[in-house]
Structure 1
């Protein structure tokens, strides 16, 4: 806002002078408002906090998407490696060990069937409702027997 020197006339008429005064008031009002906005630290801090919060939320969303993709990738790799190891172990097992493992698994199934029959005949209803735990235990036992046979075969 530049002003002419005070010794020169700035307006040719009173109407023109009033317009200049009104224009100067508006400019001064805008300047005062801009200074007041800058001086309002509380509002500026609030606005900055909102902006930072939005940025942080966007970054967190972006990172969580990347983390999920990585987890899926690693999970797939782990599954593929586990399948490969299982296939390799199966190929390397001698036939007698495979037969013993199959026989042990069949024996575990037979024991589970016998236990199921005993439960049906003698166990109260509340106990029969939890028979899934027995079946899972029998399956785990079969796996344990197979692992022990494989380990025993490897120590020879």
Structure 2
């Protein structure tokens, strides 16, 4: 009979299986096409349903927090760009009109990014409330 030789591998990083693996992972993709036939917007959403039928609200809350921070960074960067272009108006009077337009665009981008950050903050709060409701914590809304 042939002896079977088992090798034991010792790894520095141990990969543990999830204690509660997901029953179902649903991926949805949505896109809209513009007049020219190209996709103008594309959103990919991942929804994880756990074995007990619950939804992973904490993961969603973390994603919204990350997106909120990206919106904040975008607002800061666009605001800095607008200030830079505003400063160039004085330093480069020959191209002042162009710098004024770019400063206005930068300000609009900063406002838009700030709005996006505020939206994601609101979405994160909703995900947190849903997680608390799913885990039995009750909120009393008096108004």
Structure having the larger proportion of residues in strand: 2
Structure having the larger proportion of residues in helix: 1
| TM-score after normalising by structure 1 | 0.27
| TM-score after normalising by structure 2 | 0.29
